[in-house]
Amino acid sequence: MDSHAIYKPIRFLKGGQVHTLARVAPTRTLLEVLREDLHLTGTKEGCGEGDCGACTVVVGELQDGKLQTRAVNSCIKLAHSVDGMALWTVEDLATPDGTLHPAQAAMAECHGSQCGFCTPGFVMSLAALSEQHPPRAIDRDLASQALSGNLCRCTGYRPILDAAVAMARMPRQRLDTPPVRSGLKALAQIAQAEKQALASRPAKPKPARSPYATPTELSTLLALRKAQPEAQVVAGCTDVGLWITKQHRDFAQVLDLTRVSELRQIDDYPHHIAIGAAVSLSEAFAALVAQRPALQSFAQRFAGLPVRNAGTLGGNVANGSPIGDSMPLLIALGAHVVLASTKGFREMPLEDLYLGYRKTALRPDEVLGWIKVPKPVPSSKGRRKGAVSSGEFCRVYKISKRFEDDISAVCLALQVVLDGGRVVSASIGAGGVAATPVRARASQAALQGQPWNASTVRAAMATLRGEFAPISDMRASSAYRSEVLGNLLLRFWLESQGTPLADVHALTASDLEAVQP
Ligand SMILES: Cc1cc2nc3c(=O)[nH]c(=O)nc-3n(C[C@H](O)[C@H](O)[C@H](O)COP(=O)(O)OP(=O)(O)OC[C@H]3O[C@@H](n4cnc5c(N)ncnc54)[C@H](O)[C@@H]3O)c2cc1C
Ligand code: FES
Ligand code: FES
């Protein structure tokens, strides 16, 4: 630990008390602090990489006067990131007289727990679910979504899903109480008083080193980025957290941008929405789905809910993994990114951000500020149910070995704008097929201006299969990846014709004959 650094204490509200922790290293995780410093061992460590949910806790923040709660993975969350927040672990759910929270009582009643190792995580996800939805509205689908980041290796999920639904039979217990709200307001006042005291100090020749900086304004973030280009920028830490827990990397300085108000907003403009880089994946996908409801099922296949609650869209884009899921979609939608520094802003199409394998055009003094996503071109329906005759048709397909909470072998996003049966424009983004997320320019050209029919699609399928030279790895072989690209284009075309491919049995022989290469 740096002995010259100025360590800001971490303060958070838990179990009705303010906890203050001094001199916490910037890369210490919330799980380490809970188990090792506070000796709260109810929260478990399973995988240490956001996959199993054993470490799930609930965090709460006041936003526009409302308490927003979300389940997150404490194993990859940095302890400093909960400064000023309310935190609930499994120790906080039962009331002081021992009355169990409905999430606990229902798990016991439905025999949802066997090993006890994963159970605290399931209970916390259920507690967040019952906080966010009226218990009577919780059905098995909603419960499956809420539990998408929790693994049970023994009993199976049926009794756990039963427990989620059974919570409706029990008296509701809220995490959101007046003492929690007033406690959070008191923490905000302390933080504000500290900020003012710091600002009124005489200027120093050099800025004091702060191992974990959480600026709240864009101008401060950019000044810090310029002054400390070596500091590790973090947002939701769902990528960086694994560098710490799995690769044992250490960072002397961390620059956390999740409190920057300008980057936490989604702004609506006449022709696009601008999603701030610090907006969580859950909120960003909700905004994208509001524009294009067909994206709903894809949004739910991005990691599990606790990862989507913590991770940001900006982090996914800035990280630039070739198998990241949002970028093929954003490329297909024609998204632009806005990069910010103390010198000003620059804007570029998303695909131009990627220069090579995990190499981006971001300069050392820049951060990703916003992702601008064009709004859909209105479409009109074709004669067959679900078919589109003009306007935009857009889909994104994720191919992975496991349906839930898995990384893509291939991700393909396609958007066509049709007019009078012709392709006015085609836009295709692909992941898992090159060193970066890419735009499929040759395949777009094969579709552009052509009639939107089987022979055009056949020709474009061949182009798409040959456009990239994907590698073979544990997720898929090169040949499989190429083959599946073409198949997905075929699926896209069939869906645009009103063929509901979610149910393959609904495919008629003539559907297939029409497009057999
Ligand atoms: C269990 C699990 C499942 C996952 N599943 C998926 C999945 O299905 N699909 C998928 O695509 N990804 C998945 N991920 C990866 C991860 O969740 C995403 O990449 C996420 O969007 C990263 O965002 P973050 O805010 O957590 O970024 P962080 O981890 O905080 O940062 C990631 C990188 O981006 C940089 N960065 C972040 N924000 C900015 C900014 N504004 N400006 C400049 N640089 C910035 C950081 O410096 C760092 O290099 C998964 C991760 C886990 C742990
Ligand atoms: S320990 Fe497995 S998700 Fe945190
Ligand atoms: S109850 Fe813990 S793994 Fe199933």
Q: Is the CB of 305 under 6 A from ligand 2?
A: no
Phi, psi dihedral angles at 254 (to 5 degrees):
-125, 135
- 75 CB less than 6 Å from ligand 2? yes
488 CB less than 6 Å from ligand 3? no
Ligand nearest to the CA of 44: 2
- 120 Cβ inside 6 Å of ligand 2: no
Give the pLDDT of residue 404.
78
Q: Measured over all CA atoms, what is the biggest interatomic distance in the chain, rounded to whole angstroms?
A: 79
Phi/psi of residue 478, each to 5°? Answer: -60, -45
Nearest CA to ligand 1 atom 23: 315
Q: Which of 45, 115, 123 to mutate to test the pocket of ligand 3 (most atoms within 8 A of CB)?
A: 115
- Does residue 55's CB lie within 6 angstroms of at least one atom of ligand 2? yes
Here the tokens at position 19 are 């906890």
Q: How far apart are CA 511 and CA 358, in angstroms?
A: 41
Compute φ and ψ for 140, nearest 5 degrees.
-65, -30
Q: Residue 4 has what pLDDT? A: 55
Structure tokens at 12: 């958070």
Q: Is the CB of 243 under 6 A from ligand 3?
A: no
Mean pLDDT by 10 residues, the chain (517 residues): 69 95 96 97 97 97 94 98 98 95 97 92 98 95 95 89 97 95 95 82 60 96 96 98 97 97 97 98 98 94 96 97 96 98 98 96 98 92 76 95 86 96 97 96 98 95 96 93 96 88 55 54
Looking at residue 280, the DSSP 8-state letter turns out to be B
Q: Which two tokens stand for residue 55?
A: 């470490």
126 Cα distance to chain centroid: 19
Q: Does the CA dihedral 240-311-272-289 come out positive or negative?
A: positive
List the domains of the chain with CATH numbers. 10-169 (3.10.20.30), 212-374 (3.30.465.10), 387-513 (3.30.390.50)
pLDDT, tens digit, 9 for 90 and up, residues 270-309: 999 999 999 999 999 999 999 999 999 999 999 999 999 9
Which tokens is 124 given? 């916390």
The pTM of the full predicted model, rounded to 2 decimals, is 0.94
Name the residue at shortest CA distance from atom 3 of ligand 2. Answer: 50
235 within ligand 1 shell (Cβ under 6 A) = yes
- For residue 113 and ligand 3, the question of a CB distance below 6 A is answered with yes
Check pocket membership of 366 for ligand 1, CB cut-off 6 A: no
| Whole-number Å distance between alpha carbons of 210 and 356 | 32
Which ligand 3 atom is the nearest neighbour of the CA of 151? Answer: 3
* Closest Cα to atom 40 of ligand 1: 368
Q: Helix or strand or coil: residue 125?
A: helix
The count of other CB atoms within 10 Å of the CB of residue 196 is: 9
Q: What are phi and psi of 73, to 5 degrees?
A: -90, 115
Residue to substitute in 33, 49, 150, 238 for testing ligand 2 pocket (most ligand atoms within 8 angstroms of CB): 49
- At residue 224, φ and ψ (nearest 5 deg) are -65, -40
Q: How far is the CA of 449 from the centre of ligand 1 (A)?
A: 37
**Distance (Å) from CA 515 to ligand 1 centroid:** 39
Instruction: For ligand 1, pick from 31, 73, 239 the residue to mutate: most ligand atoms within 8 Å of CB.
Output: 239
Residue 195 in contact with ligand 3 by CB distance below 6 A: no
- Determine if ligand 2 sits within 6 Å of the CB of residue 405: no
239 lines ligand 1 (CB under 6 A): yes
